[in-house]
Amino acid sequence: KATPKARRILTSLIQHIHDFTRENHITVDEWMFGVDFINRIGQMSDARRNEGILVSDVVGLEALVDTLTHASDSVGHTSSAIIGPFYRDNSPEYPYGGSIIQKEVGGEKTWVSGIVTDTNGKPLAGAKIEVWHCAPNGLYEQQDPDQPDYNLRGTFYADEQGKYAFIGLRPTAYPIPYDGPAGDLLQMMDRHPMRPGHIHWRVSHPEFHTLITQIYDRDCKYTKDDSVFAVKDDIIVDFKKVASDDKELGDKGVQNRLDYD
């Protein structure tokens, strides 16, 4: 039995679909085009590819839902961002400063560090930090037969000061998969499929709300022009070159550094 909210939403949805159909004089052929389009979204989707999310995202729906969901959050924490279609749970756990690069895939090594706090600024020891990003060829490991399972993904736990750090790659801009319905939509609208270089975060703790977010590279030209509208100002960050004589980091062959609260 539907909840009152579910009933209200469904009624509204049907009203809006009818209004849309009337306003645009949708014909039988056009309706059938829409039905085929929706069916194709399902047919394109599997464990490796979530075409429903991709289609949502190119029309800005996930970004809108993210903004609405978190609009009333108390201030003083990092902005949320969309989860996107490529999250996987159970990524390997690494110690503080561990590398999520399981296989050399090129790119610039980057030291990423941060601190997890509650909204009062108190360090949150034991918070679980999951990160994931794609390889310089633009593919997440599950899309790419040449990458080992869980490459460029990792799970970390915040220490007593709330701190964590890892070595990954400076993320590269890349096209979202555009050989399906999401790509067709982009083409119809004369739009590019590029996302700015980004790293994903999922930060959780049993006693707190989970934060899903991303960081974006200020130097990437697509940070101002994201195909899925998911950039927010406070999660744009600067990557800094580390001097080669920086003992602590140089030993790990790191080229960039990113400190993030």
Q: HSE of 80 in the Cβ direction (CA atoms, 13 Å)? A: 23
Between CA 79 and CA 4 the distance in angstroms is 31
- In sequence order, the 6+-apart residues with CB closer than 8 A to the CB of 141 are 135, 147, 148, 149, 150, 151, 152, 153
Check residue 197 for interaction with Fe ion (CB under 5 A).
no
Selected from 57, 58, 80, 84, the binder of Fe ion by CB under 5 A is 84
The binder of 228, among Fe ion, ligand DHB, none, by C-beta within 5 to 8 A per type, is ligand DHB
Check residue 129 for interaction with ligand DHB (CB under 6 A).
no
b/e sequence 134-160, b meaning 16+ C-beta within 10 Å: bbeebbbbbbbeebeebbbbbbbbbbe
Selected from 41, 45, 77, 85, the binder of ligand DHB by CB under 6 A is 85
**Helix, strand, or coil here: 137?**
coil
Rounded to a whole number of angstroms, the minimum distance from the CB of residue 176 to ligand DHB is 4
Looking at the Cβ atoms of 85 and 114, the one nearer to ligand DHB is: 85
**Helix, strand, or coil here: 93?**
strand
Stretch that binds Fe ion, among 15-23, 58-66, 79-87, 182-190 (CB under 5 A): 79-87
Check residue 176 for interaction with ligand DHB (CB under 6 A).
yes
Check residue 153 for interaction with ligand DHB (CB under 6 A).
no
Check residue 54 for interaction with ligand DHB (CB under 6 A).
yes
Between CA 232 and CA 221 the distance in angstroms is 15
Selected from 77, 170, 195, 205, the binder of ligand DHB by CB under 6 A is 195
- Maximum separation of any 2 CA atoms in the chain, in Å: 69
Residues that bind ligand DHB (CB under 6 A): 53-54, 57, 62, 82, 84-86, 176, 195, 228
